[in-house]
Structure 1
């Protein structure tokens, strides 16, 4: 799978309804295509997850949600990728774009800019093909990680934050004006 196909699938998934329906549609499609496609999709997804693992984007997410844990930032980046190629790249270029982009139509059904389903669908689909269900299996998980490693997926390194909480208003004036005093909910 190439990046162009990845983004086409993300776009088509968005047309399937809410995040849960999107993930279900993508999972079923990838399972029909087989193990190699699941691993390819996940490798590209992880490439964009790694690309978006930046201090600046985490700061923007922190302003949006009035705080942002490690897990919330993972789900936020899944949400961002799920918005499609154009929005992903616009936000990566300038996280302040989120101030004009975010509205109820772009959030999950609970008002969150988070998409846990997208970042877990590859592993779940892999489990379903290998074991018949999506219950955790250490051996299958290790096999999955090995397949991703063979595709060049490496774990991300730690972030050194280049901001403090008190810097965020100055770093993200448009986001702060819209969300600083009234942040979006987070899990």
Structure 2
């Protein structure tokens, strides 16, 4: 699976009633190496979006943003498709115009935790015939990703303070600074 195939699956996923379940089921129809490739692409885009400035934007949107929440936010961003993903990476303030009630999860947040586990769920089911977590399958996936060249992230140093956000992201602050998401 290459980048084009990855984004095609993401685009198809977004049009489904239960997108993450659909995507897991679509991956189950693939070969193991294609599932690993999907996870490699997903992790590549997670790393590409692991930016201090994007974390600041998410912080404004949700009136705070923990490590896990930032992961789920980036999962949501990837699930929006290639065009939106790239626009937001180029200009985080694009989120001020992009976000609507329809683009958010059922609780009114830009989060998609489930996208981050569809590949491992598909692999576990494919290899064990069960939905229960399997450490060996997970470890095998991590080894395969490492062999493909996926490096662990070095971490992130936030280069912003909360009081600087209104000036740094005026459009986002105007729309969400006093009225963060979750309050639709």
TM (norm. structure 2) is: 0.96
| 1:162 is the counterpart of 2:163 | no
| 1:144 aligned residue | 141
RMSD: 1.1
Q: What's the counterpart of residue 179 of structure 1?
A: 176
Q: 1:49 aligns with which of 42, 46, 51?
A: 46
Shift of 1:134: 2.7
Q: Quote the residue 2:68 is aligned against.
A: 71
The equivalent position to 1:99 in structure 2, one of 70, 79, 96, is 96
Any unmatched runs of 5+ in structure 2?
none
Name the structure 2 match of 1:26: 23
Deviation, structure 1 residue 108: 1.1
Compute the displacement of 1:76 (Å): 0.2
Match of 2:11 in 1: 11
Q: Deviations over 1:107-157 (max 9, x none)?
A: 112211000111111111111111122322222211110011111112111
Distance (Å, rounded) in 2 between the aligned partners of 1:26 and 1:34: 14
Alpha-carbon shift at residue 34 of structure 1 (Å): 2.2
TM score, norm. by length of structure 1:
0.95
Counterparts of 1:137 and 1:44 in 2: how far apart (Å)? 22
Please give the secondary structure, in 2, of the residue aligned with 1:158. coil
Number of residue pairs matched? 183
